[in-house]
Structure 1
Amino acid sequence: MDPHLLRTFVTVARHGSFSAAARELGYTQSAVSQQIAALEADLRAPLLGRRPVVPTPAGARLLEHAGPLLLRVEAARADIARLVAAPRARLAVGVSALAQSPSLAGALAQTHRQHPGAEVTLRVLPGETVSALVATGELDLGLIDGAVAPTDPLHLPDVSPLTARAVAELPLAVALPAHHPLSARTGLRLHDLSDARWLDAPAAAVPLARLRAAAAADGFRPAVGYAGADPAGLLALVAAGHGLAVLPHATAETAPGVRAVPLAAPRLVHRVELIHSGPPTGPAADLAARLVA
């Protein structure tokens, strides 16, 4: 399957228009139509209706495969480029919201002093986005996090051969309002909290789906959704009584009006991993060594 044809198909499906896809891709509308026809002939199936321009059942199934396939192509291109390109005085790091830490800031400062000419960029992004951009070479290093059993690795998306190394494993806590009836406890069992009011904040706390699976219980229904990636904003909602959240203990315990009660069961930790594609070089190698030391 030609990735150029697949990319054209994805663009047409996204716009719902051959002409709009042609403008984005820099082709004529006729060329776009020919590419879609060539892809349909290759797969021996109609992929797009014409009036309106919407995916057929076969086209909808192909769209499910298209994103990962195109990402793998870009990751392979970036991997080869890294092998033949001259080292760049650049350090681009992606970090998921809860993977940020004072140790990262200190390591970045030391690396910048060691490589004063390097252009340093730090981006806070969802963990899956960090993994994808490391795979395609847009980021040199990534720091991602998740709640796992002690010593278990994080699950990485199948985007390219990524190397992952543990940076930290930290205790988790249930964040409650300071006036909550359970705030005086020395530990809390997740299973006992399944019917509580919860904040749905997948980018700033342990996702509710993960809590549900870890507790092997139904419940954990969201009372309020929080689409941000700022733990401080989330903890302000906790303090105001909008719901509970599970975060690293060190993050939750510093928020005013919040009580961080250790998670006693099940045994879960907040794990942070450093990821990269291929051996890091230059400033990236220096930072990676500091983070995993």
Structure 2
Amino acid sequence: MQLRHVESFLAVVEEGQFARAASRLFLSPPAVTGHVRQLERDLGTPLLHRSPVSLTPAGARFLPHAQAMVAAANAACTAVKDLHGTRETVIRVGVMAPGAAELTPAILRAFCRAQPRTRLVVESLGFTDFLSAVLEHRVDVAFIRPAPHDERVVTDTLTVEPRILLTVAACDLADAEGVRLADVLDLDFVRFPETTPRLLSEYGSFAAARNGMETRWGVGRATSAQDLMTSIAAGWGVAGTLHSLGRYYRAPGTCAIPVVDAPWEASALISRRDDLRPEIKAFRDLAVALARDPELGRLRPPVPPGQ
């Protein structure tokens, strides 16, 4: 016995005609006639007199059960739809410290207020997994630096900032108001693990300005921002980064020196290009709005010279 056959039987009873029942169900009259006949075969007895349409004794006995079957099916569908409407959605947010500096917690707070039914789960990312965590579905979005050039992810730029050199406070350059790339390229830089994406290791050592010159690596090795600051404070190497990390995350015993001729770099929010869920789009849209609108975010990223 199929539910659609029962529904056709009820429509004929309520409409009093096969033609009107077919119109109500958006079916052809022969289709409705076939449904009722199959139902009668399944039950082994006629349910309707045809001319005029009326219930047989078996049909009268079957009618309340048919109504209960259809009502139960409709109630089940409604229950599932209601559950879907209240189901908690989760977005896993990766943060490669400090992400987009003050914008990172501002975006998280604003999204929780705007989308209370979506729960955010924040996970720390290191220097080796800031991209792979997204691609391998361990997190859904990630606050990282610098902005990657990878067709597998969508990149939303949040800040564009000047570059700084992080160094131990006892360094000869520590008192300088600013340095140039030529002053820093021959220093010993904190080393990254071999599994670190090339994008980050080149960013941290100003590789674009070296014209093929090899980077001198110090004894320090860092897999996270905390490791980086510890190595720098110990005098085991220097590192290039964005202005906001030196202001937001600098450790005691270190200093941040502007690199005045280094190209500005971006911090970004990334997500998988094939992740088209509306909650991901909502998170990205809000993050970009806060980064660009000082009235919403009360933060305006630095503007590169000449813009």
Give the TM-score band, short-chain normalised.
0.5 to 0.7
Q: Secondary structure at the match of 1:184?
A: coil
Task: Find out whether 1:248 has 2:249 as its counterpart.
Answer: no
Amino acid at match of 1:111: F
Amino acid at match of 1:290: L
Residue-by-residue CA offset, 1:153-187 (whole Å, 9 max, x unaligned) = 6311x5x4x32221111221001222221112222
Q: Secondary structure at the match of 1:236?
A: helix
Amino acid at match of 2:241: L
Residue-by-residue CA offset, 1:58-99 (whole Å, 9 max, x unaligned) = xxxxxxxxxxxxxxxxxxxxxxxxxxx998611112233452
The answer on whether the counterparts of 2:163 and 2:262 sit within 8 Å (CA) in structure 1 is no
Task: Find out whether 1:290 has 2:286 as its counterpart.
Answer: yes
Size of the aligned set, in residue pairs, is 198
**Which runs of structure 2 are paired with 1:73-222 in the superposition (5 Å)?**
89-126=89-126, 129-135=129-135, 137-146=137-146, 154-156=148-150, 158=151, 160=152, 162-201=153-192, 207-208=201-202, 211-222=206-217
Q: CA deviation at 1:292?
A: 0.6
| Structure-2 change in CA distance of 1:194 and 1:119 (3 Å) | same
Output the CA distance in 1 between the equivalents of 2:229 and 2:156. Answer: 29
Structure 1's unaligned 5+ residue stretches are 1-84, 147-152
Residue-by-residue CA offset, 1:89-110 (whole Å, 9 max, x unaligned) = 1111223345253321122122
| Structure-2 change in CA distance of 1:256 and 1:131 (3 Å) | closer
Amino acid at match of 1:163: V
| Structure-2 change in CA distance of 1:108 and 1:273 (3 Å) | closer
The answer on whether the counterparts of 1:208 and 1:220 sit within 8 Å (CA) in structure 2 is no
**Which runs of structure 2 are paired with 1:9-28 in the superposition (5 Å)?**
none
**Which runs of structure 2 are paired with 1:208-287 in the superposition (5 Å)?**
208=202, 211-229=206-224, 231-253=225-247, 254-277=250-273, 278-282=275-279, 284-287=280-283
| Structure-2 change in CA distance of 1:190 and 1:219 (3 Å) | farther
Amino acid at match of 2:166: A
Q: Secondary structure at the match of 1:105?
A: helix
Structure 2's unaligned 5+ residue stretches are 1-83, 290-307
The answer on whether the counterparts of 1:164 and 1:276 sit within 8 Å (CA) in structure 2 is no
The answer on whether the counterparts of 1:172 and 1:270 sit within 8 Å (CA) in structure 2 is no
Question: Deviation above 6 Å: which 4+ runs of structure 1?
Answer: 85-88, 202-205
| Structure-2 change in CA distance of 1:168 and 1:197 (3 Å) | same
The answer on whether the counterparts of 1:183 and 1:261 sit within 8 Å (CA) in structure 2 is yes
TM-score (norm 1): 0.56
Output the CA distance in 2 between the equivalents of 1:226 and 1:91. Answer: 32
**Which runs of structure 2 are paired with 1:35-50 in the superposition (5 Å)?**
none
Amino acid at match of 1:102: E
Task: State the structure with more CA Rg.
Answer: 2
TM-score (norm 2): 0.54
Residue-by-residue CA offset, 1:17-74 (whole Å, 9 max, x unaligned) = xxxxxxxxxxxxxxxxxxxxxxxxxxxxxxxxxxxxxxxxxxxxxxxxxxxxxxxxxx
Residue-by-residue CA offset, 1:187-214 (whole Å, 9 max, x unaligned) = 2222332322221146699525752333
| Structure-2 change in CA distance of 1:193 and 1:217 (3 Å) | farther
Amino acid at match of 2:182: H
Structure 2 counterpart of 1:16: none
The answer on whether the counterparts of 2:141 and 2:269 sit within 8 Å (CA) in structure 1 is no
Q: CA deviation at 1:135?
A: 4.3
Amino acid at match of 1:235: M
Output the CA distance in 2 between the equivalents of 1:140 and 1:195. Answer: 39
User: Sequence identity of aligned pairs in percent?
Assistant: 21
Q: Secondary structure at the match of 1:99?
A: coil
Output the CA distance in 1 between the equivalents of 2:132 and 2:231. Answer: 31
